[in-house]
Amino acid sequence: MHYQPRDRAPLFDFNFWDETIPEWKKQGLPGWVTQQNAAEFFGLDISLAGGDGHWNTRCDVGLFPAFDDRILEDRGDHELMQQGDGVRVLRKKFMGSIPQHESHLLVDQASWEEHYKWRLDPKSSGRFPAGPEWENLVHLWRDPQRDHPVILPGGSLYGWLRNWMGVENLSLLVYDDPDLFGEMVTTVTDCVVGVLERILATGARFEACAMWEDMCYNAGPLLSPAHFREFMVPNYKRITALLHRHGVDVVWVDCDGLVDSLLPLWLEGGVNCMFPIEVGTWGADPVKFRKQYGRDLLLMGGFDKHILARSKEAITGEIERLAPLVEEGGFIPMPDHRVPPDVPLENYIHYCETARRVWGKGIALEPKTL
């Protein structure tokens, strides 16, 4: 991420749909492989969404306490459930990537005050590990010999609000009650900044900060660039200025969809890394972004996951196409989202083997074999 000399590229993936590992077990994947330990089997450094607990701070910048997460009704091949963010959704039991929102508790100023605002108090003690666990984490963060990065939580200034209120309701709110919208964005930012201040006050070293938004779809952003500049950029700057004062200069945002019109505004706000560079029908391309923004824009993702379901030759071709950008630096290649279950296991193994050879310089991460 700093364009420094290195022996090879990191080998990451974005993990898998819940149904993918079970499908692969029908194709010969050993029973011991899970979403959490898949990187060990496939010979990768880490599987991001499966996660390595040591990579995050285990501190909470979101709603605290969360709502009860429970199933409310069985509807055959669907189930109605309340999520931890208070939203009621209808979720498919199989092959359900994105659940459908049914209803929202957050509808106006009164419901904001009753259900959400008080859950964004950065001083809530439960946001942080307690006692010896906190002391052990601080010791780990300060260790100059630590052999893995630790990524700070940057929260979500729009994506969470969109979830809590729904796309249509939040889109109308920006026009009908911009003061409330601004208050919500600022309150979320206050919470993120408050939690980060306590973490950073330990004097520890952190490699990056991760944010999540998902505020774009296949034709562009859900919030206009003008409103983004008015409400979002100043609050991003509050977070990134704090991070920069403590030496954290890699800040990525996880946003799906066509992000092009928001990219320069994220950079203006200090968010300098895009992830997962979802290729989509609009043809996003990390090579194009590097030509457009130069080394100021860091990149993660960008390998079209749909190629994984095609031929092995297509997989090899895309890995080799991205290789020069990998060599330049500032780019960690991986599939542009979680791998779906229509990808054959043998194709994904071929992807991992080829990535280790081309991007990883033949690194021996001791992948297991079938």
The domain that holds 280 is classified in CATH as: 3.20.20.210
Domain-located, residue 325: yes
Tell me: pLDDT of 262 over 90.
yes
Helices (H), the chain: 20-25, 38-42, 109-111, 131-142, 159-165, 167-176, 178-200, 225-227, 233-245, 263-268, 286-293, 312-328, 345-358
Domain-located, residue 318: yes
Report residue 38 CA to chain centroid gap: 18
pLDDT in tens, 146-177: 988 999 999 999 999 999 999 999 999 999 99
Domain-located, residue 100: no
Strands 12-13 and 273-275 come out as: unpaired
Domain total in the chain: 1
Domain-located, residue 297: yes
Residues of the domain holding 145: 12-66+108-358
Domain-located, residue 81: no
Span between the terminal Cα atoms of the chain, in Å: 34
Tokens at residue 261, please? 């019109």
CA distance 200 to 53: 19
Tokens at residue 212, please? 């999540």
Domain-located, residue 25: yes
On average, the pLDDT of the chain sits at 94
Tell me: pLDDT of 202 over 80.
yes
What is the C-alpha radius of gyration for the chain, rounded to an integer number of angstroms?
21
Domain-located, residue 262: yes
Domain-located, residue 86: no
CA distance 249 to 243: 7
> Does residue 290 contact residue 327 with C-beta atoms inside 8 Å?
no
pLDDT value of position 369: 56
pLDDT band per the 50, 70, 90 thresholds, residue 349? very high
